[in-house]
Structure 1
Amino acid sequence: MTGSILTQIQAIYSTLSQSEQKVARYVLEHPEEAAIISIHDLADKAKTSGASVVRFCNSLQVGGFPQLKVRLSLDMAKDERPTYYDFDPNDTTHSIIKKTMSNSIQALQDTAEALDSSMVDQIVDAMAKAPAIYTYGIGASSVVADDIVQKWMRLGKTVFSFQDQHVLAVNIANAPKNSVFIGVSYSGKTKEVVQSLKLANTYGLTTVGISRYGEHEVGSHASCMLHVAHAPEAVFRSAATSSRLAQLLAVDTLFFAYASAQHDETLQHLKDTSQAIQLLREQS
């Protein structure tokens, strides 16, 4: 992740140790100061140790404390302070509209920063070679899984989404060589999705996870990851809507990268499917 370091800190906060969270809270609350003070001063102000600051930097994978200060300075120069708004009973309809729009825009911006272009290319290559693509998600993530089916079906790929995990397991067990399984879980912790990723690995499928940025079980068991924005938890969980938009942006990015790599074939498939739909309309 190479975008806002403050967004990155928010994304991994829940995975940090208690001492690292003290450092994270201070940096999030005082980014300007954290960008200029020494490692020992930051440790004192966060009421922790210098070793905890070092571990915090390692968890962020920024290369060290000097690099963290550089990233913070860049954020301050661009005024990149991620903002998500929660909703309360006193909000007017106008305020709700503004907050919803702001949360959606923030989620999309953060996801664009989190997506790794080289990883997108790797997944595109695997999907292009795959004789079959299987995808699975629960709740709001099932909408994302269905969107994958709708998009790649139009490109002539054999692609399936499942509601029943046992039916999914049967298909994974009989999947042809080089098939791809895509597990969708915003939290990265959905038990059924993690189980399905493990099963797909057992049967030799290329596994892809679509989840929030940070450390979680989906990331541990997927061979390829599409990371999306991690909106902070909220009382009304406004992040539920933002997470779906973030996941759909990741899928759209993957789709257009795939379409670009398979340009001529994509145009022909889209033309053929459009003609088929037009024929149906003419018959009605």
Structure 2
Amino acid sequence: METHLLSQIDLCDYPSGSVGDQLASYVKANPERVAAMSVHDLAQKCDTSASSIVRFCKGLGCSGYSDFKQSLVYSLALRKQVKVSSLDDFKAEDSAKDIIEKVTMRNIQALELCIKALKVESLEKCVQLMHKAKSIDLFGVGASFVVAKDFYQKLIRVAKPVNLDGDWQVQLTYARNMTKDDLAIAVSYSGLTKETAQCAKVAHERGAKVIAITKNDGRTRLAHISDVILGVPETEAYLRAGAMTSRMAQLNIVDILYMSYVHDDLEEYSQLFMHNYIGKDEG
């Protein structure tokens, strides 16, 4: 059973007009009402059958309708306690304990949502592209650069040729020198960062494959440029105090991608880990 049912339903992409689409829309619009309804009442409201509702519930990881309602009640309670990250989350009267709980709970939620947002087939395709690539160029600015830097440090430990620079103009120069044998990985939570999108566009024009680590929105410029999208759950408003849950989710996706990459030949990469290990007494 998923912990955050409403957030999970938000991420589901049911075919328009399908039973799943109708049920999801009704549940999202009337969560408190649904939590008090019987399966037959809900079936009547959505003009469907009780068996279809049970299938809908099981598709969300619940054992049945009763389990679904329990998960829904919990999700409602959690949303009242900790809302999606925005500038309104923190109050002047918040204690240090309140801040600890709010930040931690939002980060936990973001990590859990990664399980639903990240498509296995997309991950597997990215791993194949990484193995095939002669070299990898990483693009990202601001908080997304921090995520790209973490990935850069991981890749050099396994001797994968990789480029990254904190200067956006240098990143663009890297993009202009890419070939069809290279791979670009662009990190941007919003998918709207013009510098990152421009680097990805140039890399694409040079014939390189492009992976985007960005939120689940295929309408952004970065998404249109990319060959594969590793979806980041949408946990933060565009106007925010600073990248927090989005950065946590992106770092988690980078960790997943990296471990999937080295998992293909653990013995070889384990030897590289040992070879490139720098002890505390070195330096």
Tell me if TM exceeds 0.5.
Answer: yes
One-letter code aligned to 1:231: T
- Trace 1:86-101 onto structure 2 (pairs within 5 A): 86-101=89-104
Superposed CA offset, 1:164-215 (max 9, x none): 3332222222224321111111112212222222211111111000112233
- Which segments of 5 or more consecutive residues in structure 2 lack a partner in the other structure? 14-21, 84-88
Q: Distance in 2 between matches of 1:9 and 1:188?
A: 22
Any conservation in 2 of the 1:189–1:216 contact (CA below 8 Å)? no
Q: Distance in 1 between matches of 2:238 and 2:95?
A: 18
TM-score by length of 1: 0.74
Q: Distance in 2 between matches of 1:173 and 1:146?
A: 20
Structure 1 residues 144 and 161: CA distance shift in structure 2, 3 A: same
Give the structure 1 partner of residue 281 of structure 2: 281
Structure 1 position 135, deviation (Å): 0.8
Superposed CA offset, 1:198-256 (max 9, x none): 21111111100011223331222211111122115398x36721111100000000111
Structure 1 residues 3 and 178: CA distance shift in structure 2, 3 A: farther
Q: Distance in 1 between matches of 2:172 and 2:141?
A: 15
Say what the alpha-carbon RMSD is for the aligned residues: 3.5
Any conservation in 2 of the 1:27–1:34 contact (CA below 8 Å)? no
- Trace 1:157-176 onto structure 2 (pairs within 5 A): 157-176=160-179
- Which segments of 5 or more consecutive residues in structure 1 lack a partner in the other structure? 14-19, 44-63
One-letter code aligned to 2:230: L
Q: Distance in 1 between matches of 2:152 and 2:33?
A: 44
Any conservation in 2 of the 1:232–1:239 contact (CA below 8 Å)? no
One-letter code aligned to 2:212: G
For the pair 1:229 / 2:233, whether they are aligned, the reply is yes
Give the structure 2 partner of residue 6 of structure 1: 6
Greater mean deviation of Cα atoms: 145-154 or 71-80: 71-80
Give the structure 2 partner of residue 53 of structure 1: none
- Trace 1:134-145 onto structure 2 (pairs within 5 A): 134-145=137-148
Q: Distance in 2 between matches of 1:23 and 1:194?
A: 36
Greater mean deviation of Cα atoms: 215-224 or 253-262: 215-224
TM-score by length of 2: 0.75
Work out the number of aligned pairs and report it.
Answer: 252
What's the secondary structure of 1:148's corresponding residue? helix
**Structure of greater relative contact order (alpha carbons < 8 Å, 6+ residues apart):** 1
Give the structure 2 partner of residue 76 of structure 1: 68
Any conservation in 2 of the 1:131–1:176 contact (CA below 8 Å)? no
More helix by share: 1
For the pair 1:195 / 2:187, whether they are aligned, the reply is no
